[in-house]
Structure 1
């Protein structure tokens, strides 16, 4: 996800302080990794440097200085362009779970290695348990009375991805004998 564009989107509603942008990000994207304040301010500085945002004013109100940022016309054009771009499906699939299954098969073939620690079927079973636990957590989050739509939609997105992973794990577990023969033809 592009922090730069997300902040431009949040600035589209009008001038904001970095603190407010971080808070609104975390509210609007509840299942995303929360932004660090340092990341917000670094990104804002880059947006200003690139002419996509500018300092609206600086207030102190007797306390620490707070800078108010706003999007520029160029920033608004950049945001419209970004939101209109189709996100291409990833050309390469990086799947850590698959990599661990293959490495577990390879490690279990090593007579010097501890076979029990490198058991691909056991790993898939444990990973499935972790996925199911996360799915229960997300289901509880989205069914909490009063859950806002952003939270529900974020949870649905994550649940669908976890479900796809579970289906893949089931298929892979059923094919482990064949995969083992291909990976370790010894």
Structure 2
């Protein structure tokens, strides 16, 4: 998730304060994992350094001054570029963990089927939670739940496909140890 590019999108409509941007980010993008204020302000600072945002006002307050941020013309161009660029699937993080666990289990004569079954149970429990959101959540929460649900379904298909291959892989490792 690109926090900085999402902030550009939130700024396009009108200038906003960092606090307001954090609240709006959490509402639309956080999915239950709020963004840290420090991350919002450091992103705004980097965007300003790159000429994509600018400070358009300051309001004195009881504490630090409240800064009003706006998007620049270059920021709008960058937002357009980011929106037009398709996202390449990045499966490395999920692949690295589960795939690595299965390979290590095979290499160390452990039971990869147990790992797959525990992962299946975890996915199924998460899918039950998501079904509730898809039924009773706000439309934006439902959209987010759909996205996660479809990815979990793909993981489950992989788990199903991996199961029958394990015995063949184990036999191959016995014939040709690493």
* TM-score normalized with structure 2 length: 0.89
Closer, same or farther in 2 for the Cα pair 1:62/1:91, shift >3 Å? closer
| Alignment equivalent of 1:177, drawn from 159, 167, 170 | 167
| SS of 1:143 mapped into structure 2 | helix
Distance (whole Å) between structure 1 residues aligned to residue 87 and residue 40 of structure 2: 23
Equivalent residue number for residue 113 of structure 1:
none
Whole-angstrom CA distance in 2 between matches of 1:19 and 1:3: 14
1:134 corresponding residue in structure 2: 126
Aligned to 2:142: 152
Aligned runs of 1:25-174 on 2, under 5 Å? Answer: 25-31=25-31, 33-90=33-90, 95=95, 96-108=97-109, 118-144=110-136, 147-174=137-164
State the Cα deviation string for residues 24-82 of structure 1 (Å, max 9, x = none).
Answer: 11111243743111111001001111110000111124454211111011101110111
SS in 2 for 1:175: helix
Deviation of 1:92 (Å): 6.6
| SS state at 1:54 partner | strand
Which runs of 5 or more structure 2 residues have no equivalent in the other structure?
none
Contact 1:54/1:71 (CA < 8 Å) preserved in 2?
yes
Hey, which of these two has a bigger chunk of helix by percent?
A: 2
Measure how far apart 1:153 and its partner are: 0.7
For the residues of structure 2 that align with 1:176 and 1:91, how far apart are their CA atoms? 21
User: Matched residue pairs, number?
Assistant: 175
1:38–1:62 distance in 2 versus 1, CA, 3 Å: closer
Gaps of 5+ in 1: 109-117
